[in-house]
Amino acid sequence: MKLFVMGRNRWRSEDEWPLSRTETQRWHVHAGGALSQKPPETSEPSVFTLDPENPVPTHGGSLLMPGQYIRGPREQSPIEARPDVLVFTSEPLAEDLEVTGRVRFSCWIAAETVDTDVVARLCDVGPDGRSFNVMDGIQRARFRDGLYDPKPLTPGEPTQIEVDLWSTSYVFLAGHLIRLQVCASDFPRFDRCPGSGESSSVAKRVLPQRNKLFHDPARPSLVELPVVAS
């Protein structure tokens, strides 16, 4: 097979997929907005919300939408400045970091509603401070165990959710930073979660949603990156 390694912007031949030589690195989110391989310390959870009348707007990504929604990488500062988007950022990388394979965000949340969405977006921040989206994913909480086994959340109860960001081959260059966005909407690319446990096709309204994201030793939230040794 051939894959295109973004960041280095070149084609490379491989004999297998996924690559058996990758090593999984776990990058933990921390209170205060840090992202690092260091396990989290005891801390209060962060909060992200959904305002039905002002959801987080679609801004780049793998889109099949009308022309006013530009696909691909877009500078993310308008999104990251929003109060309903959590942002976690690493220190500048000492050396190039190649991520090739499936990326996942495993998190613990507690919602005030019986359903909500978790959107995770991985970004590359250059030395100039500009942040560009690399890949993203979304998980509706009641389908956390599969589309054919919906389970409502128990409001206030911490629940583990896994968000699949799909696959990539991307090099975060030395001096760049890795950034993770976490929020509850990406509209209109994805419909707003009603929050009531109903399907969007029958729900008569979308409930406001308030979710806690945990980052403590008992309930760590982290991104799993398949890293290829340089």
| Residue 216 near residue 22, CB atoms below 8 Å | no
CA 173 to chain centre: 20
Q: Are 143 and 152 in contact (CB under 8 A)?
A: no
Give the integer Cα–Cα distance in Å for 56 and 149: 28
CB count, 10 Å around CB of 111?
A: 27
pLDDT of residue 211: 98
State how far the Cα of 175 lies from the Cα of 157, in Å rounded to an integer. 39
pTM of the full structure = 0.96
How far apart, in whole angstroms, are the C-alpha atoms of residue 4 and residue 203? Answer: 42
Strands 222-228 and 23-29: antiparallel
Q: State residue 47's pLDDT score.
A: 98
In order of start, what are the domains of the chain with their CATH numbers? 2-7+21-198+207-228 (2.60.120.260)
Write down the pLDDT at residue 179. Answer: 98
pLDDT digits (tens, 9 = 90+) for 20-62: 999 999 999 999 999 999 999 999 999 999 999 999 999 999 9
The DSSP secondary structure of 40-92, one letter per residue, reads: PPS-PPEEEEE-TTSPPBP-SBS----TTS--B--B-HHHHTSTT-EEEEPPP
* pLDDT score at 230: 73
pLDDT at residue 131, rounded to an integer:
98
Predicted local confidence at residue 66, as pLDDT: 84
**pLDDT lower than 50: segments of the chain:** none
d(CA 126, CA 114): 38
